[in-house]
C-alpha cells in the first residue's frame, strides 16, 4: 500500500511542513527508517534523529522547535504518539479487511451454540453448548470455549486461549494466546488432619468491553459471584488475577504481577511489573505502584505513588533507599560519636571530681 503525506495529514488532522506529495509505503523506527518510511518522535531523547533520518515522513508534536533543516516531510499534531497509534490502528484495519471467515475443519461447534455473522473459528477449536458468539468475532486455531460462554462483537480470541464455562467476554476485546479465563480459584479449606479440602469454585469471570489481555495470563473464576475486569483495562503477559478480584476501568497492569483473591483495584491505576498484592484489600482510583513493590494493606488515598516492599510513599521510599546505601558508613560514624561521647563523659566526670575536691 502507498499513501502520501497529505492523505495522512488529513486523516490525523495535522499540519504539513515539507512536500505534501511525499510517499509512504511502510512504518519504521526513526533511527532505522529508510526512504518511504513514516515514523514519529514524541520523546525528546529521539529529536536529534529528525536531522539525520532517511524517513520520508515524520510525525512530530506541535510544540517541537527545530534547531536546523530537516529532509523528511513533517506532520505536526498535538500528540505524535497518539496520532501514530491511530495510524497503526487504521493500517491494521485495512490489512485485516480480507481476513478469513467461516468455520475451519476440523472444529467442533455444539448444535446449541449461537454463531453470529462474519465469524471466524479456526481449525481445532471447540465451542461448547449454549455458547453465544456475536458478529465479527475471531477465534483462532486451537482455542477452547466452554459451555454457556458469551463472547461480544468483534472480539479476538487468539490461538490456544481457554475460556471456561459460564464466562462472559465483552465487545472489541482482545485475548492473546495461552491465556486461561475462568480456571478454578485457589480455594482450599485446611482440615484437622493437615490435609486441604478443595472448595468448589462456582462463580464465573466477566470481562467487559475494550479490554486487552496479554499472552499466558490467568484470570480465575470466582468462588461465588464473579471475578470482574471492567472496560478499558489492559493486562500484560504472565499476570495472575485470583478469584473474586475486581479491576476497574482503564487500569493498566504490567507483566508478572499477582493479585490475590477478593482484592478491588480502582479506576485508572498503573501497576508495574512483578508487583505482589495481597488479598481482601482495596486500591483507590489512580494508584500508581512501581515495579517489584509489595502491597500489604488497602490504599485509601487517590493518585498515590507507591514503591518498595512493603510499599509506601514513593518519595519517602527513595529517601529510605538512599539512607540504606550509606548504612555501613553511618554505623562507623555513630560508633565514633559514641566513643567521643564516652570520652567526653569521662573528662566531665574527672573535671567535676576535681572541682569538688574528690
- Active-site entry in 26, 172, 176, 243: 243
* Neighbouring C-alpha atoms within 13 Å toward the C-beta of 172: 7
φ/ψ of residue 171, rounded to 5: -85, 150
Check residue 199 and report its DSSP letter: P
The SS3 call for residue 93 is helix
Rounded Cα–Cα distance for residues 272 and 314 (Å)? 13
Rounded Cα–Cα distance for residues 34 and 28 (Å)? 8
**Angle subtended by helix axes 327-355 and 314-325, to nearest 10:** 70
Helix, strand, coil % over all residues of the chain, rounded to 5? 20, 30, 50
Q: Determine contact, residues 144/161, Cβ cutoff 8 Å.
A: yes
Rounded Cα–Cα distance for residues 350 and 348 (Å)? 5
Residue recorded with cell 499534531:
77
Q: Where are the beta strands (DSSP E) in 194-330?
A: 196-198, 204-207, 212-213, 218-220, 226-229, 234-235, 240-241, 246-247, 252-253, 258-259, 264-265, 270-271, 276-277, 282-283, 288-289, 294-295, 305-307, 312-313
243 carries an active-site annotation: yes
Q: Where are the alpha helices (DSSP H) in the chain?
A: 5-12, 80-95, 314-325, 327-355
Nearest to 233 by CA among 220, 216, 252, 215: 252
Cell triple for residue 140? 483462532
Rounded Cα–Cα distance for residues 183 and 164 (Å)? 7
Q: Which residues form the catalytic set? A: 243
Amino acid at each position: 500500500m502507498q499513501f502520501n503525506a497529505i492523505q495522512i495529514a488529513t486523516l490525523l488532522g495535522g499540519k504539513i511542513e515539507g512536500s505534501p506529495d511525499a510517499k509512504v509505503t511502510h512504518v519504521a523506527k526513526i533511527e532505522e527508517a529508510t526512504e518511504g518510511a513514516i515514523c514519529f518522535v514524541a520523546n525528546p531523547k529521539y529529536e536529534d534523529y529528525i536531522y539525520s533520518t532517511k524517513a520520508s515522513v515524520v510525525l512530530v508534536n506541535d510544540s517541537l522547535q527545530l534547531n536546523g533543516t530537516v529532509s523528511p516531510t513533517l506532520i505536526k499534531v498535538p500528540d505524535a504518539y497518539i496520532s501514530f497509534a491511530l495510524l497503526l490502528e487504521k493500517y491494521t484495519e485495512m490489512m485485516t479487511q480480507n481476513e478469513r471467515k467461516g468455520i475451519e475443519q476440523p472444529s467442533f461447534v455444539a448444535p446449541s451454540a449461537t454463531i453470529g455473522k462474519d465469524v471466524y473459528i479456526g481449525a481445532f477449536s471447540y465451542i461448547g453448548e449454549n455458547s453465544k458468539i456475536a458478529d465479527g468475532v475471531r477465534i483462532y486455531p486451537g482455542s477452547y470455549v466452554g459451555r454457556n460462554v458469551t463472547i461480544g462483537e468483534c472480539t479476538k480470541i487468539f490461538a490456544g486461549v481457554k475460556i471456561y464455562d459460564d464466562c462472559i467476554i465483552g465487545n472489541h476485546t482482545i485475548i492473546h494466546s495461552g491465556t486461561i479465563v475462568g480456571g478454578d480459584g485457589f480455594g482450599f479449606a485446611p482440615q484437622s488432619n493437615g490435609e486441604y479440602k478443595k472448595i468448589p469454585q462456582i462463580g464465573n469471570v466477566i470481562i467487559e468491553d475494550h479490554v486487552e489481555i496479554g499472552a499466558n495470563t490467568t484470570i480465575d473464576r470466582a468462588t461465588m459471584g464473579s471475578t470482574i475486569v471492567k472496560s478499558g483495562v489492559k493486562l500484560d503477559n504472565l499476570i495472575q488475577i485470583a478469584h473474586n478480584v475486581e479491576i476497574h476501568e482503564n487500569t493498566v497492569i504490567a507483566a508478572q504481577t499477582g493479585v490475590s483473591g477478593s482484592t478491588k483495584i480502582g479506576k485508572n491505576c498503573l501497576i508495574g511489573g512483578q508487583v505482589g498484592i495481597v488479598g481482601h484489600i482495596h486500591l483507590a482510583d489512580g494508584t500508581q505502584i512501581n515495579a517489584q513493590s509489595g502491597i500489604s494493606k488497602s490504599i485509601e488515598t487517590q493518585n498515590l505513588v507507591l514503591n518498595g516492599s512493603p510499599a509506601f510513599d514513593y518519595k519517602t521510599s527513595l529517601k529510605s533507599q538512599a539512607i540504606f546505601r550509606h548504612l555501613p558508613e553511618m554505623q562507623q560514624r555513630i560508633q565514633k560519636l559514641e566513643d567521643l561521647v564516652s570520652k567526653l563523659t569521662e573528662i566531665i566526670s574527672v573535671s567535676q571530681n576535681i572541682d569538688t575536691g574528690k
